[in-house]
Amino acid sequence: FVFSINCIYRIAIIIIIMAKATVPMTAEMQQLANDPNFIVEFAVGDPVPELVPQDRKSGIKFSGVYFEKTKRYIMKRARMSKEDVRIFDYETGHVVMVSHHPGKDPYAEFDPLGLNDSGDQHKVQGGEWESACDVTSRDHRMQNFKIRPKHMSRHGRQYIRRPNDETLMNVAKMGKLETQSMRPHFEVCNEQSDDRVYTIIADMMERTFTIKNEQGDDVAQVAKTGKAIIQTA
């Protein structure tokens, strides 16, 4: 694994704090002190996660596409646009979905400089993350959706919506007091409610993002490649 200097520095500070601590440690800090394997997972994520198969009736339902074995996809930024991201099927190499600027499908028109769709209807006001985008399906089994930020939000809440503006789910960062963890946590809630369905836990380097259900099962994992870590360090 490639460790950044910043990550090593933070882990060293945490270990020093634990060594000198006179207050009760959190469950995460106790695990860091007693489990060497967890130190690696804490720093760079679990390299070989054991994903637990899920019942079709559980979780948040969207397109209704299911697989009998673990499915893998690759997200890759397009060369001709800093905004477009392509999602490929790992097995076939086919483009499954495309994330792009609101209202502009790169497969429908070629505009890498962003000269079109610059009107007010495509501008997003507010939002902590400013990650507004449309995701267009290239697979007939999957549906289009769009991501829009909440206008005023402490934790950068994002709404994932169908093309008709029906909210499917929302994602927001969780506070460290709530999680009792030094690692970044995010919650995925049903529709516009606060009913948490999944929790996303990142490692300290944010190399991996592990998605867990309410039972604590690892449902999915998003991981950066070694090349991506070096390019974004």
pLDDT in tens, the chain (233 residues): 445 556 655 666 666 655 555 556 788 888 888 888 888 889 889 888 899 999 999 999 998 899 999 999 999 887 666 668 899 999 999 999 998 877 666 665 555 555 444 444 444 444 444 568 889 999 989 999 999 887 666 667 899 999 999 999 999 999 988 999 999 999 999 999 999 999 999 999 888 999 999 999 999 999 988 776 666 65
Query: Of 131, 144, 123, which is closest to residue 170 (Cα–Cα)?
Result: 131
pLDDT at 5: 54
Cα 223 from Cα 202, distance rounded (Å): 10
Cα 73 from Cα 194, distance rounded (Å): 29
pLDDT at 231: 63
pLDDT at 1: 45
Print burial letters for 77-101: b (CB count within 10 Å at least 16), e (below 16). eeeebeebbbbbbeeeeeebbbbbb
Rounded to two decimals, what is the model's pTM? 0.77
pLDDT at 119: 44
